[in-house]
Structure 1
Amino acid sequence: MTFTQELIEKNLSVWQQCLDSPFLQQLGAGTLDEACFKGYIVDDSLYLREYAKVFAWGMTKAEDLDAIRTYYSLLSFVNEGEGATRLVYLNRYGLDDHSIQHLPQRPENLAYTGCMIKAARDGKGAPECMMACLPCMVSYQWIFQRLLQQYPNVRETPFWPLVRDYTSQSYEQACQSWLAYTDRICQDLDAERKAQCSEIFRECSLHELHFWEMSLQPRTDLP
């Protein structure tokens, strides 16, 4: 079993709690209040702005071009892949990236991005940076694949473009590529550093759960 497989195995119970959260269950069933989904899209947009900074810290500590290329590919994927659907949803609600940048991150969101940035900033290098990034990437793939199996009729709801993005073959392939890179850079870590990396992964997985729980409550500062 690879290091990333061990990390995923240890955190599946948390990811299952994410899948079972009322927000995602209602999204899959097509019964989610669109005010909650609108808030989620705004919160996700603010999250992704901070998420990009994790890669910036990674680049400053990169020791080779392979690491820089990996962070660049991650950033590009977020902006061009996830970002495209997100912008469509913002437009549907009469919003855009510029109009929401003044909004505050909600406490759960702020705690999550703060944790990721701290891990990338204070860590020794690429392993810590990837531990901060991976739970978001790979848990979305795991969660939305199972949500689609549970609720195949989600294809007929307004939430399908989001689900489609995270269940696509291209997203799965991208996740596998980033997992392989992470296993490669972590293979020679000593036991202490592996334990530290495992703790970062666990903490960020828990923040994912708190983010989904937060999202069931609509924001009160949107038009």
Structure 2
Amino acid sequence: MSKTPFVDALVQESLPIWQQCLDSDFLRGLEAGTLDEDCFKGYIVDDSLYLREYARVFAWGMTKAQTMAAMRNYYSLLSFVNENEDVARLQYLKRYGLTDDDIQSLPQRPANRAYTDYMIEATKNGEGEAECIAAVLPCMLSYFWIFRRLLKRSPGVLDTVFGPLVKDYASDGYGDACQAWADYAEKACAGLSPERAARCREIFKACSEFELGFWRMANQPRSDL
């Protein structure tokens, strides 16, 4: 019997959307090693801007936390996400002659902005930390699901310029972090009223749909780089 039945149900409901992400033109091109690097450069910039706003979601989540242990959990996840992504992300920025400071004045593209605005509002207006968790988990869990399958299907992707990104998100360490946070989410969402449980399902699925929108957006290069 699953130890995370509530989270598993959220994931199962969103799997058709995650499959669409995996089958998106951007990820198909990345998998084949044929993706236009201008599109990939735009993706790295948009991902960097996304992570800045993602941190704000956690800041709101911390305001909903009822214990110091819960606050430490938010801090640890944010630290893990930033540290795990930074090595490859910063190397890619360097490849394209960019730094974090260079891109901070750039706007988020509409699909990116809509996604982060939704997460912040869902967390800010939520009754507690469950809504925050429902907002932040789809990004983390879907990336592991997507890149693990992409790598299994096409191991040669590691030999392309996109290999470091795939390796990071398909790693056992990233998977372990995903499982740890699924376990924490299950505890945080235990005993929710039917109304709040339904709201969390709505948030999780909406954020999965925003993930799909992000991948579709990324298949077009930015015009300001």
SS in 1 for 2:220: coil
1:135 maps to what in 2? Answer: 138
Correspondences of 1:12-161 after superposition (within 5 Å) = 12-161=15-164
Alpha-carbon distance between aligned partners in 2 of 1:72 and 1:19, rounded to the nearest angstrom? 29
Amino acid at match of 1:115: Y
1:4 maps to what in 2? Answer: 7
- Taking only the aligned residue pairs, the percentage that are identical comes to 61
1:168 maps to what in 2? Answer: 171
Alpha-carbon distance between aligned partners in 2 of 1:216 and 1:5, rounded to the nearest angstrom? 30
Alpha-carbon distance between aligned partners in 1 of 2:220 and 2:76, rounded to the nearest angstrom? 33
Alpha-carbon distance between aligned partners in 1 of 2:54 and 2:68, rounded to the nearest angstrom? 21
Following superposition, the deviation at residue 74 of structure 1 comes to: 1.1
**Equivalenced residues, count:** 222
SS in 2 for 1:120: helix
1:179 to 178, 182, 185: 182
Name the stretch that deviates more: 127-136 or 148-157: 148-157
Following superposition, the deviation at residue 152 of structure 1 comes to: 1.1
Amino acid at match of 1:154: V
Following superposition, the deviation at residue 76 of structure 1 comes to: 0.5
Following superposition, the deviation at residue 125 of structure 1 comes to: 1.3
Following superposition, the deviation at residue 142 of structure 1 comes to: 0.3
Amino acid at match of 2:172: Q
Following superposition, the deviation at residue 53 of structure 1 comes to: 0.4
Correspondences of 1:188-207 after superposition (within 5 Å) = 188-207=191-210
Amino acid at match of 1:98: D
Q: 1:65-98: per-residue Cα shift (whole Å, max 9, x none)? A: 1210111011101221112211110011000000
SS in 1 for 2:29: helix
Amino acid at match of 2:150: L
Q: Provide runs of 4+ in structure 1 moved above 2 Å.
A: none
TM-score (norm 1): 0.98
- Unmatched 5+ stretches in structure 1: none
Q: 1:42-62: per-residue Cα shift (whole Å, max 9, x none)? A: 000000000000110011121
Following superposition, the deviation at residue 187 of structure 1 comes to: 1.3
1:208 aligns with 2:211: yes
Following superposition, the deviation at residue 110 of structure 1 comes to: 0.3
Following superposition, the deviation at residue 9 of structure 1 comes to: 0.5
Q: 1:4-32: per-residue Cα shift (whole Å, max 9, x none)? A: 00000011000000000010011011000
Following superposition, the deviation at residue 155 of structure 1 comes to: 1.1
- Unmatched 5+ stretches in structure 2: none
SS in 1 for 2:167: helix
TM-score (norm 2): 0.97
What do you get for the CA RMSD once the two structures are aligned? 0.7
